[in-house]
Amino acid sequence: MPDSSTPRLRDAVSLWAGLRESLAHHEVIEGRNLPPLLAYLAAWQSRRLARTHADMLHDPACADACRFFLSDIYAPQDFSQRDYDGTRIYLFMRRFLPEQALTPLAMALEVNALTQQLDLALAQAMQQHLGVSDRFDVAQYEEAYRLCDNYATRLRQIDLIVEVGEHLAHLRRVPFIGATLALARGPAQRLGWDHMQDFLERGYHAWKTLKRPDAFLTTIHDREKAILNRIYGVTPAAPATNPWLVSDGGPPELAALAAHAQED
């Protein structure tokens, strides 16, 4: 018996036809530039992640998936339009595709929303308790982490990212997912859903090229949890000799990131 989570060709055709009928449904969400501290925080975290996972970022076997992770979750930009479109697309696609086939999209939206909430809480802790206005150092960053006192939520963020990857790894083997995205491209662009369509297509193709998704996701999970544990004083934790698990061969200190982030 066919798996109920597997989209059929007629589902893709129905999706394409339905999108064409919805040309008037797109709404533009006026994006705003991120406040200076949030923009700096996003840029700093993006550079930190790039140093922690530099080995995978430069490994042809997982470079595309790692680059997608770094650019589409922690990129220093306003994702309000993309995330709004993602919610609309998810609700719309539920009319044509099985619920399980849309799980990665729903979870990606949850990751994005949770990440934004955590970043906002971190920035507020810096401003209200540490006197930070638009720049911070590593000590202030870690102290703000502890002030937020949200270890369990941070763990949830890491687990969600891994879960999204696990579902994407499964979907790359499901028939017609690639065809569905290709069929939706033209109508989505006419609807104005360019950003979300691009996000979905790049994500699908990036994970499709990943040869060992289990090893990739385990590495991300273990490194990020070890760094989080060190900040909160929980074991097992990243060692003091390399507190951010830098893998680019450079010095483990992150002080230089501040100067680079300030240039962005």
Q: What is the pLDDT of residues 104-113, one digit of tens each?
A: 777 877 888 8
Q: Please report the pLDDT score of residue 39 as a whole number.
A: 87
Of the pLDDT bands very low, low, confident and very high (cuts 50, 70, 90), residue 91 is: confident
Q: Please report the pLDDT score of residue 128 as a whole number.
A: 96
Q: Please report the pLDDT score of residue 16 as a whole number.
A: 46
Mean pLDDT for the chain overall: 80
More confident site: 238 or 171 = 238
Q: Please report the pLDDT score of residue 20 as a whole number.
A: 47
Instruction: Please state the separation of Cα 39 from the chain's center in Å.
Output: 16
For residue 4, pLDDT beyond 70 = no
At position 150, the amino acid (one-letter code) is N
**Alpha-carbon span 83 to 109, nearest angstrom:** 6
Contact residues for 114 (Cβ-Cβ < 8 A; gap 6+) = 153, 156, 157, 160
pTM of the model: 0.81
